[in-house]
Amino acid sequence: MGMADIKDEAIDALFRQLVRDAEQGGYRLNPDMAFTKALVRGLLVNKGRYGYMSCPCRLSTGKKEDDLDLICPCDYRDSDLSEYGACYCALYVSEDIFKGLKKVRPVPERRLPETSAADGGAGITTANIMANATTGFSLKYPVWRCKVCGYLCARDEPPGICPVCKAGKERFERFI
Amino acid sequence: MGMADIKDEAIDALFRQLVRDAEQGGYRLNPDMAFTKALVRGLLVNKGRYGYMSCPCRLSTGKKEDDLDLICPCDYRDSDLSEYGACYCALYVSEDIFKGLKKVRPVPERRLPETSAADGGAGITTANIMANATTGFSLKYPVWRCKVCGYLCARDEPPGICPVCKAGKERFERFI
Amino acid sequence: MGMADIKDEAIDALFRQLVRDAEQGGYRLNPDMAFTKALVRGLLVNKGRYGYMSCPCRLSTGKKEDDLDLICPCDYRDSDLSEYGACYCALYVSEDIFKGLKKVRPVPERRLPETSAADGGAGITTANIMANATTGFSLKYPVWRCKVCGYLCARDEPPGICPVCKAGKERFERFI
């Protein structure tokens, strides 16, 4: 299936769903509508080609188990949002970029060529085997706690916005 | 209060609320509208009868503390969705059944007759006392982590869709 | 910026956003519309004055790092909702108060004068250093598990409603 086979209605429908899901979870799509719709079209092309919506800016193998980490939103989105203010494609952007306070800059590829979905890329992209003096056990990621509502998540850094109560990143504390 | 006393407007209002809640949380109601509305009516009948919306397909005692695990959504919904693609009533169904790719099949009663809300049924329905070599402590359920957004939840299996970022079940990893 | 400088449209827009965020997370704004809009106006006044929406019912220092725990929703909202059915301002209220089944009563100041955002107030407001016999490690808050969907959160008491599946507070169990 080529680019030309994707109908505008399908792009609009997926775009609306992505906006809704993003906003419910405290995420933002790139406000450059033409740019974003081109990426959404790419997602639909990949859906037709592979059967799943892998990243429109990367090369998929077509073998789902090897591409799991590339299915959008990819496993690297949130680390890239934290570090660069945008995901690799710039489909998802930070609140500052969404509001026009900052500009998108290039995001280097966080996934190494040999990364497969088997280890989710996590072992490679982050120094995430933690020994915690307080708890005496090891976890792959730190656990963050929203000081407002108690939401817990395990990732390199807290999310930009709490998905439950929408408190900002600075309201999170390290919990484990 | 009998079946005839429930107004269509009340059914429609509760139906809309359940759809909204379900979609926000990554769940799906049965797409067979007549069937689903009959169950919603049953929830309202129970609400009038007992003061809480216990499962329309099971017999409630009318003593809230004994029926807590049967208040819809019941404590068994998610395990039944994982194993059978539908809850006991088939009010909630899997994405595959929602899309018509699979059919609803009978769901056996997961709750044993002597189960009361006191133990949430958990001690009986699952082998869920875990000894974890890595962490050295025991928890009643495994903790799952969404590899995309870091969402954590404790249940027998990961949810069908991450309630925060909507990533699929296959994007979850065992965290603890 | 004085009270008079806040436009009604800005109040309405923020009010709608707060309602949406509250409902998605299982929270409720005070149903007394005039009262609530006055508080929303106060939030916008603080936003103009300090650059962040600190609590309209408390005195902010204007130094963001000292006021973090007062940015609305404040770090004390959920504890006050659990104990008193309303936050300090009564902007957020319990389901019972929202439905008119209970009335708002005065909520004492939970934040001590010397509390700064550095410790989030947590060390002072709650006896929250826990030693847990089962797990053998200490956490600042207990971890609660929704028995319906497995949602985990760390706070003094479970939330009034599960933000993921909307199950009530009585459906939560202590997990860690």
Contact B134 A136 (CB under 8 A): no
A44 interfacial to chain B (CB closer than 8 Å): no
C19 interfacial to chain B (CB closer than 8 Å): no
Residue C92 C-alpha from the chain's centroid: 7
Alpha-carbon gap, residue C165 to B75, rounded angstroms:
11
A164 interfacial to chain C (CB closer than 8 Å): yes
Q: State mean pLDDT over C17-25.
A: 88
- pLDDT, tens digit (0-9, with 9 covering 90-100), for C64-80: 999 999 999 999 999 99
Return the minimum-mean-pLDDT range out of A17-31, C9-23, C118-132. C118-132
For residue A128, give Cα distances in angstroms to A122, A140, B135: 7, 5, 15
Q: State mean pLDDT over B21-42.
A: 92
Chain A residues touching B175 at Cβ < 8 A: 139-141, 154
C52 interfacial to chain B (CB closer than 8 Å): no
C142 interfacial to chain A (CB closer than 8 Å): no
| Residue B24: predicted pLDDT | 81
* Confidence class for position B112, pLDDT limits 50, 70, 90: confident
| Residue A114: predicted pLDDT | 61
Alpha-carbon gap, residue B66 to B88, rounded angstroms:
18
| Residue A142: predicted pLDDT | 93
Contact C73 A136 (CB under 8 A): no
The Cα angle at residue B93 between residues B92 and B99, in degrees rounded to 5? 135
B141 — phi, psi (to 5°)?
Answer: -135, 155
Chain C residues touching B139 at Cβ < 8 A: 135, 175-176
- How far does C30 lie from chain A, in Å, by closest CA? 16
Q: Among residues of chain C, what percentage have pLDDT more than 90?
A: 62
- How far does B145 lie from chain A, in Å, by closest CA? 7
β-sheet bridge partners, residue A163: none
A171 — phi, psi (to 5°)?
Answer: -95, 0
* Confidence class for position B133, pLDDT limits 50, 70, 90: very low
The four Cα atoms A129, A144, C152, A20 give a dihedral, to 10 degrees, of -110
- pLDDT, tens digit (0-9, with 9 covering 90-100), for B65-103: 999 999 999 999 999 998 999 999 999 999 999 999 999
Average pLDDT, chain A: 84
For residue B121, give Cα distances in angstroms to B67, B118, C147: 11, 8, 10
| Residue B161: predicted pLDDT | 86
